[in-house]
Amino acid sequence: SEVYLSGKWMPPREATISVFDRGFMFGDGIYEVTPFYRGKAFRLQDHLDRLKYCLAEIKIPFDLSILEPLMYEALSRAGLAASDAAVYVQISRGAAPRTHYFPETPKPTFLMYAFPVKLENFHEKRWKVLVSEDFRWQRCDIKSTALLANTMSNEQAVLRGYDENLLVRDGYFTEGSHSTAFFVSNGIIYTHPKSPHILSGITRKVVLEICRDLGIKFKEEAFPLDKISEVDDVFLTGTTTQITAVSLLQEKEQVLFQGEKGEITGRLQEEFLKRTRG
Told to check if 179 binds ligand PMP by CB under 6 A, we report yes
User: Is 118 annotated in the active site?
Assistant: no
Query: Please, what is the end-to-end C-alpha distance for the chain in angstroms?
Result: 28
Of 169 and 178, which has the nearer Cβ to ligand PMP?
178
Q: Select from 144, 257, 143, 140 the least CA-distant residue to 192.
A: 140
Told to check if 238 binds ligand PMP by CB under 6 A, we report yes
Q: Determine whether 254 is exposed, middle or buried from the number of CB atoms within 10 Å of its CB (0-12, 13-18, 19+).
A: exposed
Residues 147 to 176 in contact with ligand PMP, rule: CB under 6 A: 175
**What are the CA-CA distances from residue 95 to residues 45, 92, 117 (Å)?**
29, 9, 31
Compute the CA torsion angle 114, 203, 66, 8 (nearest 10 deg): -20
Told to check if 201 binds ligand PMP by CB under 6 A, we report yes
Told to check if 242 binds ligand PMP by CB under 6 A, we report no
> Smallest gap, in angstroms, from Cβ of residue 255 to ligand PMP?
24
Told to check if 92 binds ligand PMP by CB under 6 A, we report no
Of 237 and 250, which has the nearer Cβ to ligand PMP?
237
DSSP structural state of residue 65: G
Which one of residues 203, 244, 250, 265 is an interface residue with ligand PMP (CB under 6 A)? 203
| Residues lying near ligand PMP in the complex (CB under 6 A) | 175, 178-180, 199, 201-204, 237-239
Active site residues: 143
